[in-house]
Amino acid sequence: MLDYIALGILCFAAVVLFYGIIVLHDIPYEIAVHRNHPHQDAIHAAGWVSLFTLHALWPFLWIWAMLYREDRGWGFSTDKPGGAGVADLAQELAALRQRVEQLEGQRNAGAEAPREE
């Protein structure tokens, strides 16, 4: 009787280990799905390939899945909701330079005029 219980526990452990490895390797894919990653299918396929390469690709898949977020893209863009884009910043910089030139002109005009004492 104990032989059958031990065999059952052994089979159960083997099945849990088998499915646990599959679930573990799907973590980067699940992250990609959650973040609406544009390369979800590639990450999923590479996760299966990683099973056959002794998990060598898995850390890179994790990083690849974590790099993208739907709200900010790849993280390199300065265009954010409620923020200024690159074109807006260039316009603002030009306006500030023009304002500095006006103020310097006013200062120089004030220094040239004689002061009344």
Q: Domain locations in the chain?
A: 1-77, 79-117
Longest CA–CA span in the chain (Å) reads 115
Using CA atoms, how far apart are residues 70 and 75, in angstroms rounded to an integer? 10
Instruction: Give the residue carrying structure tokens 């599959």.
Output: 22
Q: Which residues pair with 73 in a beta bridge?
A: 69
pTM (two decimals): 0.59
| pLDDT, position 83 | 56
* Helices and strands (H, E) in the chain, number of each type: 5, 0
State the sign of the Cα–Cα–Cα–Cα dihedral 28, 57, 60, 42.
Answer: negative
Six-digit token string for 45: 């396929």
Residue-wise pLDDT for 37-88, tens only, equals 999 999 999 999 998 898 899 999 999 999 998 888 887 655 555 555 677 8
| pLDDT, position 30 | 96
Q: What is the SS3 assignment for 33?
A: helix
Q: What angle do CA 56, 62, 63 make, to 5 degrees?
A: 105
Dihedral in degrees, nearest 10, Cα atoms 87, 92, 93, 95: 130
Residue-wise pLDDT for 1-17, tens only, equals 999 999 999 999 999 99
